[in-house]
Amino acid sequence: MEQREQPIGVFDSGLGGISVLRACTALLPQEDFLFFGDSANAPYGEKSLAQVRRLTIAAVDRLLAQGVKAVVVACNTATSAAIHLLRQAHPDLPIIGIEPAVKPAALDVGSSSVIVMATPLTIREDKYQKLAAAFCHEANVISLPCPGLAEMVEGGLFDGPVLDGYLQDLFLPFRYCSVDYIVLGCTHYPFVRRAIARNFGQPVAIIDGSEGTARQLRRQLDAQGLLSQRQRPGTVTFQNSRPDKLTMSHTLFHMDF
């Protein structure tokens, strides 16, 4: 098969990356996608850096063994831990990572306070700390680690009193603050966007990095002459280290969120 007609591999620690996959398929409907979720090892965001690096490298190797022409690391945590190692190991492969959408939020005119929700590991890592520092003159960037939240989404909790209670506690310190943006810095969080909006308790713009990542994927494929030339609609194939998560993968792919 010609290289440009090979599938695009998309990877996440679990199901969250399906929010990015959706943006990619919307922008590149003629491409074939192979999504691998490592739900057996989720959540990555509360593991050590060394563990996340090892798991991410193994997941990307698994996609490469199936002949993908590009890899989207649809996980902020894995991106911050391992994207540079992946690029070193595969210099010719388009590898697209995701990072919290701090830039568009901070640069939006009139935005003065931006909360970034992400996993503890993403927030701890240097990559995110540098990103937040780069925009600290444009906005007050508040980093909010959310231990346990990706796990709830992974477990299919998109609504209900447990999630509401978690979010209300999380947002308590901001009750009397004026906040312009919430950045969803973990690919699991878009699936609970409505619960986040409701429990924040004041009107706030909520953004994530999935569309920016999809655009970056298209740019890189185009630059390398790797865009599919087929006219037919592409396919989406799901794989998961926990086969019992495959049904849920399809549900999330079609979910309205």
Q: Which residues bind ligand DGL (CB under 6 A)?
A: 12-14, 16, 42-45, 75-77, 119, 122, 150, 186-188
Tokens linked to 73: 């690391």
In contact, 184 and 19? CB cutoff 8 Å: no
Q: Across the beta sheet with 140-145, what order do the strands follow? A: 140-145, 113-118, 181-184, 205-208
The nearer residue to ligand DGL, 128 or 228, going by C-beta atoms, is: 128
Q: Across the beta sheet with 236-240, what order do the strands follow? A: 95-96, 70-73, 8-12, 33-37, 236-240
Tell whether the torsion through CA atoms of 119, 121, 122 and 123 is positive or negative: positive
Name the closest residue to ligand DGL (Cβ): 45
Q: How many angstroms separate the CA atoms of 250 and 138, rounded? A: 39
Active site residue 146: no
The nearer residue to ligand DGL, 6 or 14, going by C-beta atoms, is: 14
Min. distance of Cβ 14 from ligand DGL in angstroms?
A: 6
Min. distance of Cβ 151 from ligand DGL in angstroms?
A: 7
Closest by CA to 155, choosing from 239, 23, 43, is 43
Min. distance of Cβ 191 from ligand DGL in angstroms?
A: 10
Strands 205-208, 70-73: parallel, antiparallel or unpaired by DSSP? unpaired
Q: How many angstroms separate the CA atoms of 45 and 157, rounded? A: 18
Min. distance of Cβ 44 from ligand DGL in angstroms?
A: 4
Active site residue 75: yes
The nearer residue to ligand DGL, 6 or 143, going by C-beta atoms, is: 143
Min. distance of Cβ 219 from ligand DGL in angstroms?
A: 21
The nearer residue to ligand DGL, 217 or 226, going by C-beta atoms, is: 217
Catalytic residue among 24, 136, 146, 186: 186
The nearer residue to ligand DGL, 13 or 143, going by C-beta atoms, is: 13
Catalytic residue among 75, 136, 146, 177: 75
Q: How many angstroms separate the CA atoms of 36 and 39, rounded? A: 9
Q: How many angstroms separate the CA atoms of 191 and 155, rounded? A: 12
Q: Which residues are catalytic?
A: 75, 186
